[in-house]
Amino acid sequence: MQTQTYRQLDRDHHLHPFTDFKALAEEGSRIVTHAEGIYIHDSEGHRILDAMAGLWCVNLGYGREELVEAATAQLRELPYYNNFFKSTHPPAVKLAEALSRLAPPHMNRVFFTGSGSEANDTVLRMVRRYWALEGKPDKQWVIARENAYHGSTVAGLSLGGMAPMHAQGGPTVPKIAHVRQPYWFGEGRDTSPDAFGRECAAALEAKIQELGEENVAAFIAEPVQGAGGAIIPPQSYWPAVKEVLARYDILLVVDEVICGFGRLGEWFGSVHYGLEPDLMPIAKGLSSGYLPIGGVLVGDRVAETLIERGGEFFHGFTYSGHPACAAVALKNLELMQAEGIVERVRDDVGPYLAERWAALADHPLVGEARSLGLIGALELIDPTTGERFAKSLGAGTLCRDICFDHGLVMRSVGDTMIISPPLVITRAEIDELVRLAREALDETARRLAAREQADESPFREESGS
């Protein structure tokens, strides 16, 4: 009864993010009511293992009283004050200091935002401002990658390389170019992963030369692409990109919104890959998603120019460094350190997941099983051909829905199944995750075989479910 009421109100009044409004109205939404550890519960009494940590963010898991207390105490003390007009407050200052301690040694300052998208808007403005202050106002082009995700604001989507997003809403921000992504399984299987990684780095260099180094401000990339499909680049990619960047004077922006705060078994993905970014947008795991907060970690090179020569930077948000969000983020970082979460991912649960996840490669539906730290992907293939399924079969969506029914949140990006579980997941919970994933794959294979035989569209069969 309660479920029906919520569904009706949701249908009547709520426009969801990244959602086909009409299709959802027909199907009805899942009402998530509470959660603990790595499990969410819905209004119909299902307990579901959340292998996506919410949306790549609930790194310490659900129900952490320490985070609730940090928020409550701060809300009592000072629920809001801004960081404009020469003011600040203790939580923002303490968090800024904690972040510069955790960041690579050359990154000592942070600009706070409310989200990852706002962080990338800040990045775009900062890199262009930096070069203007350096007396090189023509250096405005930013090179990003196809199928990257950098957020949903206008600057975020422009930096991102998601074609369906670009197709909506009119022209994107000018002077942003996209080069090919290091997605070996999707785009490079006619060559070796290492050769493909080098080709992608060469494409970056070709783009710099085409635009002219004197016009290029920055290159922006996620260490591992998240929303694009948990794309772990070939081993050769980042070293080759580093070689390219060393030949040109352009800034490196590493988007750490997903990879930051332990996901890859280091505090930042940049550390895992040995990168020295000039700027690092952060969000999500910064507060384990308990309250919204993001920011840009700024390297000394850019910070010094902005400080010494910049005058006022006309940029900021009402909630930049919000006290309660900052207090929760600070407590989150303290807990991560006290519990050795990053080392745990690197030395224990990350390698354990790698071993268990790789075993799924023997499933007939799986063309590749890859993982790094606590991020993983399965590429679904048609066992009869060894190639991708026809798009119209909707294999990924079907598998995702079956996962839900089996008590597992595993996302689909096309026919790539992805996971990014809370960093507190235990070995026993990883066993459960992998068992549920295998059951869901079995069921998906059965249903797809039936569909292929009947040669019918899944959407006819599935609609209304």
Length of the chain: 465
Instruction: For residue 44, give Cα distances in angstroms to 30, 31, 405.
Output: 9, 8, 12
Is 184 a binder of ligand PXG (CB under 6 A)?
Answer: no
Considering only residues 266 through 285, tell me which ones interact with ligand PXG, judged by CB under 6 A: 283
Residue 191 is encoded by which pair of tokens?
A: 């060559």
Contact predicate 229/377, CB 8 Å = yes
What amino acid occupies position 18? F
Considering only residues 24 through 83, tell me which ones interact with ligand PXG, judged by CB under 6 A: 55
Query: Of 48, 251, 257, 372, which one interacts with ligand PXG (CB under 6 A)?
Result: 257
Query: Hunting for tokens 């308990």 — which residue is that?
Result: 290
Question: Which of these segments, 92-100, 221-229, 351-359, 393-401, binds ligand PXG (CB under 6 A)?
Answer: 221-229
Strand 107-113 to strand 294-299: parallel, antiparallel, or no bridges (unpaired)?
Answer: antiparallel
Report the residue number, 96 or 409, with the smaller CB distance to ligand PXG.
409
Closest separation in Å from C-beta 145 to ligand PXG: 11
Query: Of 91, 151, 197, 376, which one interacts with ligand PXG (CB under 6 A)?
Result: 151
Distance (Å, whole) CA 36 – CA 58? 11
Question: Which of these segments, 41-49, 109-117, 266-274, 432-440, binds ligand PXG (CB under 6 A)?
Answer: 109-117
Question: Which of these segments, 66-74, 122-130, 220-228, 320-328, binds ligand PXG (CB under 6 A)?
Answer: 220-228
Query: Of 59, 74, 108, 117, which one interacts with ligand PXG (CB under 6 A)?
Result: 117
Report the residue number, 353 or 375, with the smaller CB distance to ligand PXG.
375
How many CA atoms lie less than 13 Å away from 76 in the CB half-sphere? 5
Is 203 a binder of ligand PXG (CB under 6 A)?
Answer: no
Contact predicate 314/347, CB 8 Å = no
Report the residue number, 227 or 369, with the smaller CB distance to ligand PXG.
227
φ, ψ for residue 462 (rounded to 5)? -85, -20
Considering only residues 153 through 182, tell me which ones interact with ligand PXG, judged by CB under 6 A: 156
Closest separation in Å from C-beta 285 to ligand PXG: 11
Give the residue among 340, 335, 417, 331 at the shortest CA–CA distance from 379: 417
What amino acid occupies position 170? G
Report the residue number, 222 or 382, with the smaller CB distance to ligand PXG.
222
What amino acid occupies position 368? E
Closest separation in Å from C-beta 333 to ligand PXG: 18
Residues 6+ apart with CB under 8 A from 387: 381
Closest separation in Å from C-beta 226 to ligand PXG: 5
DSSP structure string for 26-56: HH----EEEEEBTEEEETTS-EEEETTHHHH
Size of the site for ligand PXG (CB under 6 A): 17
Query: Of 150, 180, 322, 363, which one interacts with ligand PXG (CB under 6 A)?
Result: 150
Residue 254 is encoded by which pair of tokens?
A: 């590493």
Is 444 a binder of ligand PXG (CB under 6 A)?
Answer: no
Q: What angle do CA 169, 289, 127 make, to 5 degrees?
A: 55
Report the residue number, 131 or 149, with the smaller CB distance to ligand PXG.
149
Give the residue among 353, 114, 146, 116 at the shortest CA–CA distance from 255: 116
Closest separation in Å from C-beta 294 to ligand PXG: 6
Closest separation in Å from C-beta 225 to ligand PXG: 8
Query: Of 54, 223, 226, 285, which one interacts with ligand PXG (CB under 6 A)?
Result: 226
Is 401 a binder of ligand PXG (CB under 6 A)?
Answer: no
Report the residue number, 220 or 365, with the smaller CB distance to ligand PXG.
220
Is 441 a binder of ligand PXG (CB under 6 A)?
Answer: no
Report the residue number, 129 or 411, with the smaller CB distance to ligand PXG.
411
Strand partners, 252: 219
Burial call 328-340: b when 16+ CB within 10 Å, e when fewer: bbbbbbebbeeee
Percentage helix, strand, coil for the chain under 3-state DSSP, each rounded to 5: 45, 15, 40
Closest separation in Å from C-beta 57 to ligand PXG: 8
Is 416 a binder of ligand PXG (CB under 6 A)?
Answer: no
- Chain residues binding ligand PXG by CB under 6 A are 55, 115-117, 120, 149-151, 156, 222, 226-227, 255, 257-258, 283, 294
